[in-house]
Amino acid sequence: MAPGFEPVHETFRENFESRRELGAACAVVHEGAVVVDLWGGYRDTGRTDPWTADTLVLVFSTTKGIAGGVMAHAHSEGLFDYDDPAADYWPAFGQQGKDDVTIRQLLAHQAGLAGIETTLTPAKIADRDGLVDLLARKEPDWEPGTRHGYHAWSLGWYESELLRRAAPGSRTLGRYLREELAGPLDADIYVGLPDEDGGVSETRIAEVQSFGPLDLLRSVGSFPPGMLLGLANPWSLTTRAMSPFDVSTPAELNDPAYRRLEIPAGNGVCRVRDLARFYADLIDEDGFLDAETREALAASGTPPTDGTHDVILHTDTAYSLGFWKPFDGFRFGSSSAFGAPGAGGSFAFADPERELAFAYAPNRMGTHVWDDPRETALREAVLDCL
What digits encode the pLDDT tens for the residues 238-296? Answer: 999 999 999 988 999 999 999 999 999 999 999 999 999 999 999 999 999 999 999 99
CA distance 361 to 97: 39
The pLDDT-based confidence of 215 (bands split at 50, 70, 90) is low
Radius of gyration, CA atoms only, the chain: 19
pTM, two decimals, is 0.96
- How many structural domains compose the chain? 1
The answer to the question of residue 1 being in a domain is no
The Cα diameter of the chain in Å comes to 57
Percent above pLDDT 90 for the chain: 90
Residue predicted with more confidence, 299 or 210: 299
Residue 62 in any domain: the answer is yes
Span 348-374, mean pLDDT? Answer: 96
Tell me which residue range forms the domain holding 362.
6-385
pLDDT of amino acid 342: 97
Q: What are phi and psi of 338, to 5 degrees?
A: -150, 145
CATH number of the domain encompassing residue 361:
3.40.710.10
Q: Are 243 and 41 in contact (CB under 8 A)?
A: no
The predicted structure's pLDDT at residue 161: 98
pLDDT of residue 225: 87
What's the distance, Cα to Cα, between the start and end of the chain in Å? 14
Weakest mean pLDDT among 41-55, 110-124, 222-236, 237-251: 222-236
The pLDDT, as a whole number, for residue 194 is 87
Which is nearest to 68 in space by CA: 288, 302, 316?
288
pLDDT digits (tens, 9 = 90+) for 125-145: 999 999 999 999 999 999 999
Q: How far apart are CA 248 and CA 156, in angstroms?
A: 22
The pLDDT value given to residue 228: 86
The H or E element spanning position 215 is: helix 213-218
**Percentage of the chain surpassing pLDDT 70?**
97
Asked if the model's pLDDT at residue 93 lies above 90, the reply is: yes
Q: Does residue 73 fall inside a structural domain?
A: yes
Does residue 265 form part of some domain? yes
d(Cα 25, Cα 44) in Å, to the nearest integer? 14
Residue 304 clears pLDDT 80, i.e. is over it = yes
At residue 105, does pLDDT exceed 70? yes
What pLDDT, in 10s, does the model give residues 148-204?
999 999 999 999 999 999 999 999 999 999 999 999 999 999 999 987 666 788 899
Sign of CA dihedral 282, 174, 370, 309: positive
User: Do the domain assignments include residue 287?
Assistant: yes
Mean pLDDT of the chain: 95
